[in-house]
Structure 1
Amino acid sequence: MQYNLLVVLGATATGKTSLAVNLAKEFSGEIISADSRQIYRGMDLGTGKDIEEYVIDGTPIPYHLIDIVDAGYKYNVFEFQRDFVSAFEDITQRKKLPVVCGGTGMYLEAVLKGYKLIAVPNDEVFREEMKGKTIEELEVILRSYKELHNNSDIETKKRAIRAIEIERYYASNPQIDMSYPQMNPLLVGIKFDRESRRDRISFRLKQRLKEGMIEEVQSLLKSGVSADDLIYYGLEYKFLTQYAIGQISYDEMFSGLEVAIHQFAKRQMTWFRKMERSGSDIKWLDGYMPLDEKIDQVKEWFSV
């Protein structure tokens, strides 16, 4: 298979950035971030941008979809898909390899499966008409609109009805441009056992606090970003903001954030397993493999 896209995914604190950047260097590629928070300017330590890793032996590795909007803005998956396609086409037109790096499962699936992310309005009358049909009947109707490459759209009646509702809308609005670039991705995941992942998360949290993560949040607040907007972003920005404005103590912030990140990493792995059940072929690397061995293994997969 001729791959035209390389994806490096995994839970938080698994070393995705280092591997992706080194692979981009090996394959003459450029990074496209698939992280829902790294798009915000000024949110650096809390989102784990690790910009210093984008330079190898003095050579900067180009990256996209990092620092593209101001903190306080509520960027969404619709915008991500649009911006991703733009970056993908720009990179490929210059004969470079797009290397996606990130752990936001929804963003990854949106671009890998080419979801038609148009704000299709709800049709309550149609939903009522479909409510009495079986999942098998709904599947037949959906197949009359499109080929099903996996079972994700027919996992439940609710999802099947919404999928049909969306396809009906597209069929009745042919002026909508639904073109999508052809992608043949190699999906590479990095994983650690649960206890190792927890240890890495805790270590990285302490390290980032030492590096000034609290000061980063204080600076954002001073710049005019509201506490509510920062709390909206969740995880580090939620707990650090609550601490910065005096709602919780340092110990409450640290313990609460530590637990929240562990839970987040667990949800990330659950999402990746769901992707696999839906047909995504993720080739997993043991996180403890030396970096050069990881690179060699990916090069071997890529050349098949």
Structure 2
Amino acid sequence: MLISVLGPTACGKTSFAVALAQRLGAEIISADSRQVYRRMDLGTGKDLADYVLPDGTQVPFHLIDIAEPGTKYNLYRYQQDFLAAYDDIRARGRQVVVCGGTGLYLESIVRGYNLSHVPQNPTLRQSLEGLSLDALTARLAALKAQAGTALHNHTDVDSCKRAIRAIEIEDYNLRRPVGEREFPALPVLNIGLTLPREERRARISARLRSRLEAGMLDEVRALLAEGIAPDDLIYYGLEYKFLTLHLIGRLTYEEMVAQLETAIHQFAKRQMTWFRGMERRGCTIHWIDALHPMEEKVAAALELFRSTQSSTL
């Protein structure tokens, strides 16, 4: 049985997943849309030290540092990479824990989305070039309305490039049936970590200050120096968007920090909205208070795992 660990940013998912994996002899597959990129460490919160146990051994992890900055990793590729990692881990007789805060990636696994690759449409792209972000957002919302869905993933309209790609995908899916390739139905135990709103906000603010002090601005500066286009970094959103806007002179440092902090708080709220939506769409999530001691959280998760396994036998 696959175990998924989910929750909003700054709730301690990674350290909890590592502690749980240690007890189960499991390996971890990341479900984070930005941790796939190499040299994007502080801004994506990889926290690789969390995977190292007190005795110096490391809990194996997958789908981190697998793509170059400036490229466009996507959900279709994530599903392919997830299955390859999952099959490899299971073939070696080990348990799998998938951990992350990218709701779309997680839901595509636990609900078995069937996807087909969406190629670029040069004609459509040319027709959209020059439109404002507001106009592109309206176009995307209209396409989603035709498909009977809502514009709930606002990262799709963080920039004109992202909006154009989202329109391209919606247009393609409206004209063709989605998913020629079956994604296997995996038995899943979903464990969510939850935090009181004020505690979550305090952790986000403290973590942002810590990462800035640790050199997050230098990380983005180095990515620009190696030739990655500012628009490509802005495409990744949140930290990379606002730090890049500061470094290219469009925001002062104070404006950058204030706007980024607000954006991360809004992102965490959207994450919880997504996870609640997963529950409405039929996913059972067992919520555990992130403020409980680690041993209590792990013990609760292990009890859920044992009871769920026995009920499926």
Instruction: Tell me the TM-score range normalised by the shorter chain.
Output: 0.7 to 0.9
- Which ranges of structure 2 fall in alignment gaps of 5 or more residues? 120-143, 150-169, 308-313
Give structure 1 regions of 4+ aligned residues with deviation exceeding 2 angstroms.
Answer: 155-160, 165-171, 178-182
Q: From 82, 85, 89, give the equivalent of 2:83.
A: 85
Deviation digits for residues 21-65 of structure 1 (CA, Å, limit 9, x no counterpart):
111111111110000000000000000000011110211111110
Match of 2:22 in 1: 25
**Corresponding position: 1:187 with 2:184:** no
Q: From 219, 222, 225, give the equivalent of 2:222.
A: 219
Question: Aligned ranges for residues 55-94 of structure 1 at < 5 Å?
Answer: 55-57=52-54, 58-94=56-92
**SS, match of residue 69 in structure 1:** coil
- Which ranges of structure 1 fall in alignment gaps of 5 or more residues? 122-154
Q: From 116, 119, 134, give the equivalent of 1:118.
A: 116
TM-score, length-scaled by structure 1: 0.81
Match of 1:53 in 2: 50
Match of 1:135 in 2: none
Give the drift of 1:71: 0.5
Amino acid at match of 2:277: K
Distance 1:170 1:102, change over 3 A: closer
Q: From 262, 274, 279, give the equivalent of 1:276.
A: 279
Match of 1:147 in 2: none
Give the % identical residues.
53
Distance across 1 between alignment mates of 2:197 and 2:92: 40
Give the drift of 1:119: 3.8
How many residues align? The count is: 260
Amino acid at match of 1:20: A
Q: From 201, 211, 218, give the equivalent of 1:198.
A: 201
Deviation digits for residues 149-199 of structure 1 (CA, Å, limit 9, x no counterpart):
xxxxxx987338x9xx8898479xxxx5x3433411110001111111111
Q: From 8, 11, 15, give the equivalent of 2:12.
A: 15
TM-score, length-scaled by structure 2: 0.79
Distance across 2 between alignment mates of 1:235 and 1:282: 27
Distance across 2 between alignment mates of 1:20 and 1:218: 31
Distance 1:301 1:238, change over 3 A: same
RMSD: 2.1
Contact 1:190 1:287 in 2 (8 A): yes
